[in-house]
Structure 1
């Protein structure tokens, strides 16, 4: 029986197919290369290779894109009639709830799966991504901690597990350990984009913009290649560092360059584009027709049903492009969300809707309403979608709404909060100065 590098039997696999499969797993681990092409090659050589089909299905399922979700279901359907061992059947069973929009059930099934198969690196990484998309900081950290004692430097993939641990520690605010573990991971595997990204998050959250730019610059050859899935997101992090240093022109140049020059249609890249343009707009930058290009691309993914975090970022682009009809389309979908998708329905109504309504109110100049909605939403927003760094756009917009709306007490309170967390940020220093002007007036 052919096995993977961690010793798990692989049903229906040939020796040659396993080589392509392991290359695909590595590409997935470091977010570099084309894992799908490698999986396809493995399936072509061994059509009944169950784990290859499962990996392909999981890759599509975690893309948070409607067409990819449909494709993932098709790959799962192909498993019917194939021989699956207990581990493979368990991994397939954890995937089915996700495809139905039940993210928490899927993640919990993976919790139990990894308790039994702690060396299943595909399951650990897919679970880690589900925790990220659900904003489950605790499971981002502890999913890895539960399995870590079974790992060692002698087990292939150990550095990848350390990289995931680093990000979980960072999202739980354990910045010192997160940076140390992240640096250990990239020392073992310099191409580990997730570990690099974890350290970048530490520096963002601690307000260490100069350190962040140095970290990104010295390691740029490891994360900026055309075949790197996270290159746009890392350039986005670089832009945030520049904004904290008051270098707005550099951030604009990064948007026009590596963030959007390729007109990426990947949802993650488009989220970064929307979030950066929104920040630039709040700073008074005239972004011109950049909104139109991004809004047109969002039409591929924004349906108001699959993943509200993406829909919220699509609405930013629709507002900037003046496409009110599409704003209303997303609002309507979020308001009427129902069906047998507990997580997606809850996210849409309880989190996505107030966020979208708050951002719509801000863009249309109703700053008092925007502040009210976003002040309430800033706490529930931790129930879905992305990282603390990504969700900071809520507090930034709330602070700006309070300032523009003349809500002095709230503006001062938010400014104090932000300045305490990142005292050297030019953005936060600017907020404080504007509050003082309100008080003097």
Structure 2
């Protein structure tokens, strides 16, 4: 099995100390469970021989409930998992207790980890990323800091941050370390998001040659092939390696989403719908993960932009969304949640989400609240305006903020959903000034995504509706 190595030769307290990552706990069992958890997280997989990731997390927590580094890991994971935020009472209590205990009992590295995890949980996302990066300056082999920094920069929409965090440590690692190969996959994604596609593909290939089951590296390569307009190659790559990357269950839904995007480029809508029915919807209903919710919502929206009638029953397969409406961990999640609720005709819950976002945007002390206020709400309202057929209003709200949408997080490929919606809105607008904007919008998209067949369809639609 792909992840069974995760449970072998786990570091005890001395093992962590020997690599200059000393823990304050004296529990060897806790030290080993910490190692098991970060290995499985980085590989996006379950090690069945030790019960899998979630069981490992339980064991981490119970083996030494007071362990500082273990609690830093759990708090950081909870915040970066975007499942809880600073308005969750239990989460706040965990952060408050960790803050006090780390100051009393933690070593210097643990204090810095606690600081970063708590900053993130309280909504200071950019400060948290800075602290994780500083940990890497002193401890480049700290895999927890590597992973959390990489994820934080992703949610912050910082392409350079994703790249720099890995670039500065990868040459300082012992290549015999169990998770070394995964650095190349993370490096590949940072390079791709920085538009360094040739270097990104090389790094993805290095990672996959070292470990073909590295589903994050497969994901990074899919990004490169999409952005380069190599859609047939991308589609073939995803199917030829499906049995490798699908084993990374935490990322499998997202990789199926990427596969569906290649089908959409070729107008192979039934294939994309089949992926939604067989993989995306079913996986979301098993996990109820916000990451899977985003993929499900995005996929159906993109198909509808292409004129496909996906049916209300498919939207309603994205179930139990009401429990997320007060979360507001990152706005990227909220906008996908909103369009799903609207398409489900769940008007009451969608209205509650919009009202909650308005209230949240008035909080002065969270990075995401200010992003929600200045970028998120106009984007959200523009997307709903498009869904209502109010195309002029959609352009009016989305066009001025389009260059700042990167700040809500996500990847270039994921944010293309908003780009496509704005282009469709401009084409369908009643106002000639919006028609004139369309050509510029098409050029902007083409500069980022070359050789896009979908882009050509958008240009053709424009020419048909607005001939010279």
CA distance in 2, matches of 1:127, 1:91: 11
Alignment of 1:246 with 2:271, yes or no, is no
Alignment of 1:3 with 2:15, yes or no, is yes
Q: Aligned-pair distance for 1:74?
A: 4.5
**Residue in structure 2 matching 1:54, options 72, 96, 104:** 72
Cα offsets for 1:116-138 (capped at 9, x unmatched): 22111101110110100011101
Q: Aligned-pair distance for 1:94?
A: 1.1
Equivalences, count: 439
**Residue in structure 1 matching 2:332, options 299, 309, 319:** 309
For 1:41-440, list aligned pairs within 5 A.
Answer: 41-66=59-84, 71-77=90-96, 79=98, 80-81=100-101, 83-225=105-247, 228-262=249-283, 263=285, 264-288=287-311, 289-294=313-318, 296-303=319-326, 305-336=328-359, 337-406=361-430, 407-419=434-446, 421-422=448-449, 424-440=451-467
Distance 1:344 1:123, change over 3 A: same
CA distance in 1, matches of 2:14, 2:97: 21
Are the equivalent residues in 1 in contact too, given 2:85–2:123 (CA < 8 A)? no
Q: Aligned-pair distance for 1:394?
A: 1.1
CA distance in 2, matches of 1:154, 1:12: 26
Distance 1:274 1:114, change over 3 A: same
Q: Aligned-pair distance for 1:15?
A: 3.0
Are the equivalent residues in 2 in contact too, given 1:245–1:425 (CA < 8 A)? no
Are the equivalent residues in 2 in contact too, given 1:29–1:192 (CA < 8 A)? no
Cα offsets for 1:325-371 (capped at 9, x unmatched): 33332332333322353302211101110110101111111111111
Are the equivalent residues in 1 in contact too, given 2:364–2:370 (CA < 8 A)? no
Cα offsets for 1:88-139 (capped at 9, x unmatched): 1110011111111111111111122221221111011101101000111010
Are the equivalent residues in 2 in contact too, given 1:209–1:244 (CA < 8 A)? yes
SS in 2 for 1:96: helix
Q: Greater shift after overlay, 45-54 or 30-39? A: 45-54
Q: Greater shift after overlay, 250-259 or 333-342? A: 333-342
Distance 1:54 1:10, change over 3 A: same
Q: Aligned-pair distance for 1:36?
A: 3.4
SS in 2 for 1:9: coil
Cα RMSD between the aligned structures?
A: 2.2
Q: Greater shift after overlay, 119-128 or 58-67? A: 58-67
CA distance in 2, matches of 1:137, 1:109: 17
CA distance in 1, matches of 2:320, 2:233: 34
Normalised to the residue count of structure 1, the TM-score between the two structures is 0.93
CA distance in 2, matches of 1:427, 1:41: 48
Q: Aligned-pair distance for 1:320?
A: 0.7
Q: Aligned-pair distance for 1:424?
A: 4.3
CA distance in 1, matches of 2:158, 2:292: 21
Distance 1:423 1:156, change over 3 A: closer
Q: What are the ranges of 5 or more consecutive residues in structure 2 without an aligned counterpart?
A: 1-12, 47-51
Cα offsets for 1:44-97 (capped at 9, x unmatched): 334443322222222111111237965544544554447321111110011111
CA distance in 1, matches of 2:23, 2:264: 48
Match of 2:7 in 1: none
Are the equivalent residues in 2 in contact too, given 1:39–1:52 (CA < 8 A)? no
Normalised to the residue count of structure 2, the TM-score between the two structures is 0.88
Match of 2:31 in 1: 18
CA distance in 1, matches of 2:146, 2:153: 10
